[in-house]
Structure 1
Amino acid sequence: MQGKKQTPERKFKTIPILVSLLLAGFIGMFSETALNVALTDLMQVLNITPTTAQWLTTAYLLTLGILVPISGLLLQWFTTRQLFIAAVSFSILGTFLAAISPSFEFLLTARVVQAMGTALLLPLMFNTILLIIPAEKRGGAMGLIGLVIMVAPAIGPTIAGLLIESLSWHWIFWLSLPFLVAALIFGILFMQNVSEVTKPKIDALSILLSSLGFGGIVYGFSSAGEEAGWGSPKVIIAIAIGVVALVLFAVRQLTMKQPMINLRAFKYPMFTVGVLMVFICMMVILSSMLILPMYLQQGQGYTAFKAGLLLLPGGIINGLMSPIMGRLFDKYGPKWLVIPGLVIVAVSLWFFSSITPTSTVVFVIVLHSALMIGISMIMMPAQTNGINQLPLQYYPDGTAIMNTLQQVAGAIGTALAVSIMTAGSKSFMKTVTNPADPINIVPAFTHGVQNAFIFGMIMAIVGLVVAFFLKRVIVQHKAQGMMH
């Protein structure tokens, strides 16, 4: 990070830069989950099966899984302004196409364009914040990101439910458009170039291997949630290609002078622990965020809007807790937040595994809120602590690794949860005298959902074991001349 640009006089207008990034990020995350509630509606309108509808989410995750790893390279090739304007432009184009889309194929294409915008924006947001905020205040800033990243997906389903009931699903996208345009204008006016453009050599083979690797794994796991399940050749081949490509990718990165993603970041133990924590956390969040709304609608018979409303308190609490956790992290370090957080998550999921069609609204709201408080205690502290251990030149690599693995974890978590749920329902049907009797549908579904929550609880316990290895990182390098 040395060079002419990084003179100590360099001042950044931190607030406008943050506002531009957070506004665009908020809408990106909002449209990612808002569609989940609309899936039931879309199946009827577009005349598609649940498996096909699932691709609207999978294609989004797949695009992120392929593009986010390349983001570390892009951050070194283009200026902050160029990347920001490109990211928001893709988001605007994708959102507009989705808003006017007449068919499933058209909507799917629009989702891919939208995801291209989000894939550029997420790493840019993390990297910029790491460069303009000194380490000792970083927890608070990361808390703000947490507020955005967590509240948007939380209110997404509620707002989407309202729009679907009163207007149509197209309005989910019409609503996002003006905010994205505002973010673009704001960014054009205030965004500054914070990172240095070094233009490292582009290695086509690395890009190919990373795309095949992450793409194969996301695609394979996502397809496993479909009817054919884990045994289908498509799933086995995709995951096998993914794993082989990733191994080759890792070997290539470690032998290159200028790797695309510098995997030597994993030499720093707290970074590795942080990555593991974030991975487990994303699996738990995304799988429960998919299973719970489905159960509220199909198992308990709530409307999309009411299901969204029930999940709103937890989402808001999580968002509000995020900046508080950021400040506590700056003061006390990660361990005293992460360990209790994982205990809360594991206990909440254990209670959730006893959910039934007669479970009360209070039961759902209290447990979901507890789950969200636990997650706010884990995610940001583990992430910030991990990145803090890296030397400055590894920041783009560290953020690319974290963001990529979050997408992969999301895909794996949702796929595992859906297949565990399906398997649970099938095994329940085998125990009943008359599987064709419709009276058995809800109990079978409930049994599957309970199994999916037990899977989440086991993941949280694994995370708890890892958390005992956490140590607080004291940052050696100050953000050089990054703040006035």
Structure 2
Amino acid sequence: MSTASPPATRERLDPAFVRLSLVMLTGTLAVVFDTTIVNIALDTLGRQLHVPVSTVQWITTGYLLALGMVVPTTNWLTGRFGGKNVWLAALTIFLAGSVGASLAPDAATLIAFRVVQGAGGGLMLTVMQTILVQATGGRSLGRATAIIGLPALLGPVLGPVLGGLIVQHLSWRWIFWINVPFCLAGLALAWRFMPAGERDREAPLDWIGLVLLCPGIAGIIFGLSRVGAGGGFGHADVLLPLIAGAALIAAFAVRALGTDTPLVDLRLLRSPSFSAANALMFLSGFVLYGAMLLIPLFYQQVGGRDAFTAGLLLAPQGIGVMLSRGLAGTLTDRVGARPVTAVGLVITALGTLPFAWAGPDTATWWLVAALVVRGVGLGAVTIPVISSAYEGLTRDEVPHASVITRTAQQVGGSFGTAVLAVVLDSALARHPGGPSDAAAAFEHTFWWSLAFTVLALVVSAWLPSRLTRRPTAAG
């Protein structure tokens, strides 16, 4: 990793970078909306396909397992075949999975094509991050990250709204057909406008690392996905895959630190700012994804809203995200990641606090306003955290960093959702009455979410106080 260099100056984003971002975002929108839209439709899928909950959950679990397992391969794939070729292949795989899922005659076929979708989607998200960070050339990384991180924030907010509309007014098959125009447009634009990228036909593949890391990530994600069904972390079908996954990842770490050509270079974690950024991405599972589980359930179980209305009431958070992203990117380039992240986390906590005090009679406008504030905070947090993860990296280190950050986000999202789901279930068991008792259970769980936000605020102290210019990032 390079040493500190002069502070970043105000520079316009390269028009070529903006064009490349728009090209890649066109295809990526299908991926980021797909997961949350499907989650809204799981109940409908179970009823119309005549399968139990234990089978329906594999529509999501199979997707997440495939997504997690392919992420570690992206570093080698982009080096061996070039970023453009891998992107086109990944988008084609996701398109094939979407068409197959939309035509699936039964649950087993649908699950199989969801696995195909997950493989394509996992490649796309990581390759996009790598290509766009390399394209910045180490300049204006904060403002560039405002574009790179946009799908990750908009998906959980807008996906439930789209999913609710489709489930309420159309066949469930349109959940997957809606991906097709995004994929086709993305393929056409990428074929026309994406640069070919560099290729190393002799790039070695760490087969042992691949065998250790990919199943390890899958084991952890599978174990976490079983937390809700198992009623907590203390059951064999949760603990065994978690322990096995952790053991495989530990073995991979030992190997990666002892070889010159690891599948993923874990030596990047020696940097305090890189480690802090990934710790914050993991904690975002509690701050973002865990709360995204709680808020719709609060509207339904305490406020008495239906699923579609609960999803619609999440939209104000997306408005807040859009309001803060441009300013957060500019401030990150000017003053650094640490102060922007700290302020963003405080604002996020302030926007979450009203839900910890809310009850059945709380005015909807007050909670809507709180979600706008919360969105402003989340938008301000994500940009500097992702930017600082790439602080001081050379071009060759960027793909490794993308794998690590994507894995931290994926596992953190699963872990945060699982932990807060267990906390909520336990609290609801102690308050089995009506909406007022449910409000007490949600209050307890939202305080847990706020506690993890405070923990993230402490970790943010290890982020760099000012981003530096990285001419080596462009090669």
1:368 aligns with 2:371: yes
Which range moves more in the overlay, 153-162 or 458-467?
A: 153-162
Equivalent positions of 1:399-410 (< 5 A) are 399-410=402-413
- Which whole-Å CA distance do the structure 2 matches of 1:400 and 1:385 have between them? 15
2:269 is matched by which residue type in structure 1? F
1:100 aligns with 2:103: yes
Task: State the match for 1:139 in structure 2.
Answer: 142
Structure 2 unaligned segments of length 5 or more: list them: 1-13
Equivalent positions of 1:266-305 (< 5 A) are 266-305=269-308
- Which whole-Å CA distance do the structure 1 matches of 2:367 and 2:125 have between them? 31
- Which whole-Å CA distance do the structure 2 matches of 1:480 and 1:143 have between them? 18
- Which whole-Å CA distance do the structure 1 matches of 2:281 and 2:473 have between them? 27
- Which whole-Å CA distance do the structure 1 matches of 2:73 and 2:434 have between them? 45
3-state SS of 1:231 partner = coil
Task: State the match for 2:219 in structure 1.
Answer: 216
Kindly provide the CA deviation profile for residues 356-387 of structure 1, in whole angstroms up to 9, marking residues without a partner as x: 33333213312222222111111110111221
Task: State the match for 1:4 in structure 2.
Answer: none
Equivalent positions of 1:174-323 (< 5 A) are 174-197=177-200, 199-323=202-326
Q: TM-score, normalised by structure 2?
A: 0.91
Structure 1 unaligned segments of length 5 or more: list them: 1-10, 430-439
Work out the number of aligned pairs and report it: 462
* Contact 2:228–2:422 under 8 Å retained in 1: yes
Kindly provide the CA deviation profile for residues 24-70 of structure 1, in whole angstroms up to 9, marking residues without a partner as x: 11111011111222223333323445554443333322222211122
Distance 1:301 1:474, change over 3 A: closer
Equivalent positions of 1:55-134 (< 5 A) are 55-134=58-137
- Which whole-Å CA distance do the structure 1 matches of 2:435 and 2:114 have between them? 32
3-state SS of 2:257 partner = helix
* Contact 2:138–2:473 under 8 Å retained in 1: no
Task: State the match for 2:454 in structure 1.
Answer: 461
Distance 1:389 1:365, change over 3 A: same
Task: State the match for 1:156 in structure 2.
Answer: 159
- Which whole-Å CA distance do the structure 2 matches of 1:305 and 1:332 have between them? 41
Which range moves more in the overlay, 147-156 or 261-270?
A: 147-156
Instruction: State the superposition RMSD in angstroms.
Output: 2.2
Distance 1:479 1:21, change over 3 A: farther
* Contact 2:138–2:469 under 8 Å retained in 1: no
* Contact 1:155–1:312 under 8 Å retained in 2: yes
1:32 is matched by which residue type in structure 2? T
Residue 413 (structure 1) aligned to one of 378, 395, 416: 416
Identity of aligned residues (%): 28
- Which whole-Å CA distance do the structure 1 matches of 2:362 and 2:402 have between them? 40
Equivalent positions of 1:412-451 (< 5 A) are 412-429=415-432, 440=433, 442-443=435-436, 445-451=438-444
* Contact 1:142–1:323 under 8 Å retained in 2: no
- How far is 1:224 from its partner? 1.2
Task: State the match for 2:385 in structure 1.
Answer: 382
Equivalent positions of 1:26-37 (< 5 A) are 26-37=29-40
- How far is 1:422 from its partner? 1.2
* Contact 1:60–1:115 under 8 Å retained in 2: yes
1:170 is matched by which residue type in structure 2? R
- How far is 1:235 from its partner? 0.9
Distance 1:162 1:470, change over 3 A: same
2:223 is matched by which residue type in structure 1? G
1:169 aligns with 2:162: no
Which range moves more in the overlay, 102-111 or 80-89?
A: 102-111
* Contact 1:146–1:323 under 8 Å retained in 2: no
Q: TM-score, normalised by structure 1?
A: 0.89
* Contact 2:342–2:460 under 8 Å retained in 1: yes
* Contact 1:425–1:446 under 8 Å retained in 2: no
1:36 is matched by which residue type in structure 2? N
- How far is 1:307 from its partner? 1.6
- How far is 1:105 from its partner? 2.3
Kindly provide the CA deviation profile for residues 138-185 of structure 1, in whole angstroms up to 9, marking residues without a partner as x: 211210122333223322111221222221222122222112111111
* Contact 2:320–2:373 under 8 Å retained in 1: no
